[in-house]
Structure 1
Amino acid sequence: MIRRILGLSTFLALLASVSLAASPSTRKGEKIADPKESPRIQLAILLDTSNSMDGLINQARTQLWKIVNELANTKRDGCAPHLEVALYEYGNDSLSAESLHIRRAICFTDDLDRVSEELFALTTNGGQEYCGAVIGKSIDQLDWSPSGDDLKMIVIAGNEPFSQGPVDFHESCSESISKGITITTIFCGQEQVGIDTGWKEGAELAEGSYLFIDQNEPIVSIPTPFDDQLSRLSIQINNTFLFYGDQKAANEAVERQAAQDENALSAAPAAAAERAQFKASAQYQRASRDLIDALASDSVKLEDIKPEELPAPLRKLSHEEQLKFIKTKREERQRIQKEIQTLTRQRQEFLAKANEKTGDESANTLDTAVLQAVRQQAGRKQFTPPAAQ
């Protein structure tokens, strides 16, 4: 199935809406997904960063949090699986010829702040776009799940012939689907040009979807009365995180969290609001760094942490005082999460009414067509998208 999409943001959001979630949100009735036991969604995003792709990168940056929020609401048997995202760039002259102008920006991770950080660090520079090669590297270099129950997807976007480069895309795409990894191709340009240059064939070989977009289509976000408050709450909730362990890494986590708040706000008020929504969900857990999440998941015991690896506010407190401090921060976080969730529902209702008034073409026609194409992939693994719940 082929449908035109007005922008990468639209496609990515729809792709997300029919994929899996990282873990459930804190809303009543949802099951907490154990990363060790739950099915996974593994999504590798391969972006062309040659000169003409600034619009593509900006769309991806602006819509990242919308993507993961949609993922968060797709479930299997009422449970939201664990999400891992990887990011590659290709076609950039700043990358060495020896690497075939390809770079793995980040391997599979459930730390979406790191994915955002890497997206905002991307720059464009003219180069040679080797689709077959970057697909091959993503298959070989990433730690793909061996389970046939997990949903494994590659999404590649670009605007040059799919056949460029020393690696035959037929071989890469065939290898991909042989390992249960589907490939969705997004051609930045006219539909027939993408078909003529192999993008549709690549998707078909790997049992994915072929889509084409205008990468320079500006993101049009409807402002809402709730955006500013959501952005403020997103910053406030940061004060409830107690990063522990290696202090250099803990400090980096604090700085990264704040930097991605700023990046989202600079992209669009809507992006900041959507990031706030994600931060109020269980998907945004930091058990590997945040003491509150770590204790809640039983991945660490307070008494086992070395004094020098405790969060600074806890180091001079007694054990009882530490527990009281942690309890206070946890309750503060829960309060802010509830505020964000309430405002998010109000924001979504506002947007739904606004779209009804404007007759948003992408929402009324194109979205439906793309959802049908991508739901087929999620349905193979018995996952249910939000619209069907």
Structure 2
Amino acid sequence: MKIKIIILALFATTALGVALFPSIQQAQALTTVKTHTTTIQNHRIEVVFILDTTSSMTGLIQAAKEKIWSIATTMASAEQTPDIKMGLVAFRDRGDTYVTRVLDLSEDLDSMYASLMDFEAQGGGDGPESVNQALYDAVNRISWSDDENVYKVAFLIGDAPPHMDYINDVKFPVTLEQAKRKGIVINTIQSGQNHSTTPVWQTIAQLGDGEYFQVENSGNAVAVATPFDKKLSELAASLEKTRLYYGDAEAKESQKRKNEATRKLHDELSEAALARRAIFNATASGKSNLLGKGELVEAISSGRMELDDIDRDDMPASLQALAPEEQMEIITEQARRRDKIKSDIRELSESRSLYIRQKIAAQGDASDSLDEKIYSAVKKQAKLKGLIYESESASY
């Protein structure tokens, strides 16, 4: 099978929220319940992608839709299984449909990606773009954690330098000082070979304590379809059927929207993309994306809640008329099925990974791919926050 080298792995995640603004904000109100365990703070990653969404980036953004989940799985592969939030600042230029659109940090990749399906890049074409505004918004309009132990990182991706002639524009050196005070690392990815962009991108990375990469417009990230993708996509659908939601009317409406987003992904994503998503959702870091808020099976099976903590009217409709013993029987069975499906996904994932690495070996290696460059940067930077990555290569 031919290995396509395309600029995907990082940008898959960067592009994911552009179309969402502002529709992705979802209600998160749940029934007030008693808790039975003490919450332990996990290691965390907060990553924001600052993406040029002008017409010259169209191919990159479209290609990105295939590999959104691989970069998430790579970040999830740390020994400490971090919680992952992702956000986006999409930018164009003054005079375009918008200058910036900000999507705040979220664990719900499904809902973000569902809106991405309708996104198309437009505008630009006249040289410099509003890079200064994009950087400022990324540092100041995103709800970064104040916790100094969180790995906070941004990736600036584009092919044109910033306008330095705009009035009422905060220039990037000032913004990067703010980023440093907040503990945010700024990496830069230059698409193409615009010689006026290169020195600026290098300077931004240097001032942002980050790394600079250059990739061709045609890209150089690894994407391989495998014989295991179809089965993995089917397992993903089965995994989602184990979800049962509780909560008041507002919470259930939010959960309904998440289910609709999930259905849209299954209708529109390729089998390869669905396979990558299944692999991420089966990880500990992918649990928040898989389940969302107010998922009953996890709440009960983890011991975080008990059935009598929840009002009957707030239970899933399918359980409301049942006796508590019958409710528990169904919840226990769903938990068992969920564990089995996750185990099957992990087993198939290993076979898929071996298949891909054999294909890569037959064509040479992927050491110069964007996947590996990004993984190298994350591996080095995250280590300073106590996150250890032992894998020799990125997830594909």
Matches within 5 A, 1:114-133: 114-127=111-124, 129-133=129-133
**Residue in 2 that maps onto 1:321:** 326
How many Å separate the matches in 1 of 2:69 and 2:186? 22
Identical residues among aligned pairs (%): 27
How many Å separate the matches in 1 of 2:213 and 2:55? 21
CA 1:154/1:364 → structure 2, altered by over 3 Å: closer, same or farther? closer
Deviation at 1:84, TM superposition (A): 1.1
**SS in structure 2 opposite 1:322?**
helix
CA contact (8 A) 1:235 1:258 kept: no
How many Å separate the matches in 2 of 1:181 and 1:35? 26
How many Å separate the matches in 2 of 1:102 and 1:116? 19
User: Partner amino acid for 2:239?
Assistant: I
**SS in structure 2 opposite 1:243?**
coil
Q: What TM-score, normalized by structure 2, do the two folds share?
A: 0.80
Q: Match for 1:212 among 211, 214, 229?
A: 214
**Residue in 2 that maps onto 1:383:** 387
Q: Which moved more, 1:199-208 or 1:124-133?
A: 124-133
Q: Which moved more, 1:308-317 or 1:66-75?
A: 308-317
**SS in structure 1 opposite 2:154?**
strand
Deviation at 1:94, TM superposition (A): 5.8
Q: For each residue in 1:283-323, what CA deviation from the matched residue of structure 2 results, as whole angstroms up to 9, or x when unmatched?
A: 23226232112234455443232333322211211111111
How many Å separate the matches in 1 of 2:240 and 2:143? 31
**Residue in 2 that maps onto 1:73:** 77
**Residue in 1 that maps onto 2:22:** none
How many Å separate the matches in 1 of 2:255 and 2:319? 14
Unaligned runs of 5+ in 1: 1-5, 16-33
Q: What TM-score, normalized by structure 1, do the two folds share?
A: 0.82
Q: Which moved more, 1:239-248 or 1:321-330?
A: 239-248
**Residue in 2 that maps onto 1:293:** 298
**Residue in 2 that maps onto 1:270:** 272
**Residue in 2 that maps onto 1:140:** 140
Deviation at 1:364, TM superposition (A): 6.0
**Structural RMSD (CA):** 2.8
Deviation at 1:161, TM superposition (A): 0.8
CA 1:368/1:276 → structure 2, altered by over 3 Å: closer, same or farther? closer
User: Partner amino acid for 1:341?
Assistant: R
Deviation at 1:188, TM superposition (A): 1.4
Matches within 5 A, 1:201-280: 201-217=203-219, 221-245=223-247, 246-265=251-270, 269-280=271-282
Unaligned runs of 5+ in 2: 15-37
Deviation at 1:216, TM superposition (A): 3.8
CA contact (8 A) 2:158 2:191 kept: yes
CA 1:218/1:81 → structure 2, altered by over 3 Å: closer, same or farther? closer
Q: For each residue in 1:335-377, what CA deviation from the matched residue of structure 2 results, as whole angstroms up to 9, or x when unmatched?
A: 11111111111111111112111214x3467765554444331
**Residue in 2 that maps onto 1:178:** 181
CA 1:191/1:126 → structure 2, altered by over 3 Å: closer, same or farther? closer
How many Å separate the matches in 2 of 1:375 and 1:162? 29
